[in-house]
Amino acid sequence: MSTSGSSTGNGPLYIGVSTKMYLGYQESLRWLSEVRSIVDDRPGLGTDSAAESPVRVFVIPSFPVLEPAARILAGSPVLLGAQNCAWGDGPLTGEVSPGMLAELGVSLVEIGHAERRRLFAEDDAVVARKVRAVVGHSLTPLLCIGEPDRLDAGAAVDFCVRQVRAATGGDTDLLPRLVLAYEPVWAIGADEPAAPHHVNAVLGLIREALGPGCPVMYGGSAGPGLLPQLGAADGLFLGRFAHDPANLGRVLDEAVLLRQAGAVAPASNSSSRS
């Protein structure tokens, strides 16, 4: 998945959903079929080529669902992602290699999520190995970053930029290959997302620190009504709110309207939830 040309205001908006382990196998298939219908019903999302779409939609279901998901989504602009991967091929029992994910039609791989770091002890070194492995198979790393505790914008940015530089080994040539998902850990699973003024400040400063060419989304209790308030965001990484396909449809409508207008609306200090 190419990320070139992405910049706030005129580049594509990325709208993605991870199902984590909330949906069973059959429920996942039904959800994917509904997502396909929602996207097909919105011609403003573009053609069957994601690269030509003003809004790039991606879904990240559980590993066992990837093969049928590719069939359900075939011919649509929806990109398929994976929730994790190994750092290579070979004797890594129980893991899934990026090479196999590429064979299955996966376009992007989520790396460095706070749950992987906290529950599975994935440190910066592991995250960096996975980033290299994913890029080596021509896939896009969806790198999750975010401060664990509530910090002011400057301290949050320092933390996030250190995570990005650790994940890339300081190789700036890797930055255009990434999509970043800014997910403050304290906002994941919370009743409310982080306040828009905080998100806008952090994303703007991250972009200043890293330079152009790397889309930066927001995730963390994100839902309908939030995107129009995030003038600095290149999209939303959605979780449980979008497990209701109707909520995903509402966010996609917001994204289409924003791109038709040519830019995200000015930021607001109010927060939003579904």
Q: How confident is the model over 83-142, as pLDDT tens digits? A: 999 999 899 999 999 999 999 999 999 999 999 999 999 999 999 999 999 999 999 999
Confidence of residue 271 (pLDDT cuts 50, 70, 90): very low
Q: How confident is the model over 232-250, as pLDDT tens digits? A: 999 999 989 999 999 999 9
Report whether pLDDT(3) > 80: no
Report whether pLDDT(36) > 60: yes
168-183: average pLDDT: 96
Instruction: Please state whether beta strands 235-238 and 108-111 pair in parallel, antiparallel, or not at all (unpaired).
Output: unpaired
Q: Which residues contact 91 (CB under 8 A, 6 or more apart)?
A: none
Q: What is the pLDDT of residue 260?
A: 87
The percent of residues above 70 in pLDDT, for the chain, comes to 90
Q: What is the pLDDT of residue 213?
A: 85
CB 229 within 8 A of CB 194: no
Pick the CATH number of 13-42+73-183+200-215+223-236+245-260 from 3.20.20.70, 3.40.50.720, 3.10.20.30, 2.30.130.10: 3.20.20.70
Distance CA 207, CA 138 (A): 24
Q: What is the pLDDT of residue 195?
A: 96
Domain boundaries, the chain: 13-42+73-183+200-215+223-236+245-260
Closest CA to 213 of 184, 183, 173: 173
Distance CA 219, CA 129 (A): 23
Q: How confident is the model over 213-224, as pLDDT tens digits? A: 899 999 999 999
CB 81 within 8 A of CB 109: yes
Report whether pLDDT(146) > 80: yes
Degrees, nearest 5: CA angle 58-64-70? 45
Report whether pLDDT(256) > 70: yes
Q: What is the pLDDT of residue 84?
A: 98
Report whether pLDDT(179) > 80: yes
b/e sequence 169-206, b meaning 16+ C-beta within 10 Å: eeeeebbebbbbbbbbbbbbeeeebbebbbbbbbbbbb
Regarding predicted confidence, which is higher, 62 or 4? 62
The percent of residues above 90 in pLDDT, for the chain, comes to 83
Q: What is the pLDDT of residue 101?
A: 98
Confidence of residue 44 (pLDDT cuts 50, 70, 90): confident
Report whether pLDDT(171) > 50: yes
CB 197 within 8 A of CB 246: no
- Supply the residues annotated as catalytic: 113, 183
CB 13 within 8 A of CB 258: yes
Report whether pLDDT(263) > 60: no
* Run of H or E including 204: helix 196-210
Q: What is the pLDDT of residue 49?
A: 58
